[in-house]
Amino acid sequence: MTTIQRAKGIQDVLPKERRFCDLIIAKATELAHLYGFQRIDLPILEYTELYQRGVGEGSDFFVQKEMYTLEESEDVNIAMRPEFTAGFMRAYIQNGMSSWPQPVKLYTIGPAFRRERQQAGRYRQHSQFNCEILGETDPAADVEVMLLAMNLYRALGFQGLTFQLNSTGCPVCKPAYIEKLTAYLEQHLDKLADIDKERLQRNPLRVLDSKEPGMDELLADAPHIVDHLCDDCETHFADLRGLLDALDQSYSINFRLVRGIDYYTKTVFEVWAEGIGAQAAVCGGGRYDGLAEDIGGPPTPGVGFGSGIERIVLGMQEAGLEPPTPEQPTVLVAHFGGATKAAAVQLTFQLRAAGIGTRLAFARDRRSMKSQMREANKHDVQTVLILGDSELEQQAVMVRPLDGGKQTLIKLTNIIEFLQS
């Protein structure tokens, strides 16, 4: 019989990696609250139509069949969420958040699911930290989510942080730009890889994101969308840059930055860091002012970002950043079975109730003291409390420091005070 393994593209988060995750989540939560965001938990399962209309059927989720879906009935399909933003907007509309004080600032942390090719820091089930500001068009809202993301990575110790920045325009100016870009690319069809030819047909902007050989040279002369923005988008982009300049915040205009989802309008950005391997980006986001209408709601502007926690963990490991080691029990209670075992169990829980981290030496039958001492050394325990028949008769416990200090007999009624002193 073969041993069952975990599913392809899925990982077990072991204690060492969990330490990284816990630190990231703690810092992210602290910053989100500092910036005035409230937590919301969104369902993992949503109607597939939410992503068809919100994310766009031209996105990789649909074209490359990356979504996990199940048929609930003949004409109803459910999807495991591949991303969070459409769910945020659905929740905003459905729960009447437009009647709340505006804008509404929300964050969440949870798993997302994409049936994609496994790559460094990306798994078919991965965790994300997302922050969104809903109901606000001010470029200062863009800056707020951008700086929240930036300050998270600063707090975690990343170096050489900078923004990659672009505008994707809006329904007023984007169509004309896409026509110009398409015309340029069609002049060079012989230089496009098959995947880029497919992108040209369904979503020409995605060609700008191509990693295929020779595309850097080809796209260097492609038209730039920032040269074809309408007055509203141009003003928004100029105001955004002005705010970043006022904050002395480093950024670069990246004409090829478009992000991989159809709902983006105006601002798109990524945070890049140095010293974390070939993939410099640690998060991305942008503005999505038309998303609410795409899913049947009233016009509602929005801006936000998402950051994969596993990607941050990988970046921290690449950069040599280590989370603090969590405190482990420094005391082990050893015993000789029988009545001493019952007393050891009782003492262990008394010590824990007093806030003293304590391990209990397990033994169904009598276990040698030498074996229990080896256990203490393996777990870096500092002090062993020994309960034998003699100690039990005296209502005491033998305290043996493992640093070579002298062992001492202490009354059970005084042991908590002794260990805390």
What value does the mean pLDDT take over residues 115-136? 88
Whether residue 35 contacts residue 144, with contact meaning beta carbons closer than 8 Å, is answered with: yes
Count of domains forming the chain: 2
What are the pLDDT digits (tens) for 20-55? 999 999 999 999 999 999 999 999 999 999 998 888
Does some domain include residue 369?
A: yes
The arrangement of strands across the sheet holding 383-387 comes to 358-360, 331-335, 383-387, 396-401, 408-411
Instruction: Please give, one letter per residue, the 3-state secondary structure of 311-335.
Output: HHHHHHHHCCCCCCCCCCCCEEEEE
Residue 6 lies in a domain: no
Collapsing DSSP to helix, strand or coil, 30 comes out as helix
pLDDT digits (tens, 9 = 90+) for 187-234: 999 899 988 998 888 888 889 988 899 899 999 999 999 999 999 999
Q: Does residue 335 share a domain with residue 311?
A: no
Are 358 and 246 contained in the same domain? Answer: no
| 319-324, Cβ contacts within 8 angstroms, sequence gap of 24 or more | 319/157, 319/158, 319/159, 319/273, 319/275, 319/276, 321/156, 321/157, 321/158, 323/19, 323/20, 323/22, 323/23, 324/19, 324/23
Residues 278 and 394 in one domain: no
On whether residue 407 sits in a domain, the answer given is yes
294 within a domain of the structure (yes/no): yes
What does the pLDDT read at residue 63? Answer: 47
* Whole-structure pTM value: 0.90
Q: How far apart are CA 109 and CA 398, in angstroms?
A: 47
Q: Report the distance separating Cα 56 and Cα 206, nearest Å.
A: 13
Within a domain: residue 32?
A: yes
pLDDT at 388: 93
Tens-place pLDDT, residues 374-417: 999 999 999 999 999 999 999 999 999 998 889 999 999 999 99
What residues have CB less than 8 Å from 144, skipping those under 6 apart? 35, 133
- Domain enclosing residue 335, as ranges: 331-420
Considering 277, 296, 318, which residue would you say is the last residue of a domain?
318
In a domain, 131, yes or no: yes
Question: Which domain-ending residue is among 266, 287, 318?
Answer: 318
Give the other-Cβ count within 10 Å of 322's Cβ.
12
Is residue 211 in a domain?
no
User: What pLDDT, on the 0 to 100 scale, is given for residue 252?
Assistant: 96
pLDDT tens profile 306-361: 999 999 999 999 999 999 888 889 999 999 988 999 999 999 999 999 999 999 99
Q: Which element (helix H / strand E) includes 397?
A: strand 396-401
> Do 415 and 274 sit in the same domain of this protein?
no
Are residues 239 and 139 in contact, defined by beta-carbon separation less than 8 angstroms?
A: yes
Could you list the beta-strand ranges (E) of 215-312: 251-253, 265-274, 281-287, 302-308
Report the CATH number at residue 247.
3.30.930.10
Residue 271 belongs to some domain of the structure: yes
pLDDT of residue 258: 86
The chain-wide mean pLDDT, for the chain, equals 92
Q: Under a CB-based contact definition with an 8 Å cutoff, are residues 102 and 56 in contact?
A: no
Q: Is the same domain home to 41 and 140? A: yes
Dihedral Cα 9, 12, 17, 23, nearest 10 deg: 90
CB–CB of 398/385 below 8 Å? yes
Kindly tell me if the per-residue pLDDT of 368 is higher than 70.
yes
Write out pLDDT tens, residues 262-319: 789 999 999 999 988 777 889 999 999 999 999 999 999 999 999 999 999 999 999 9
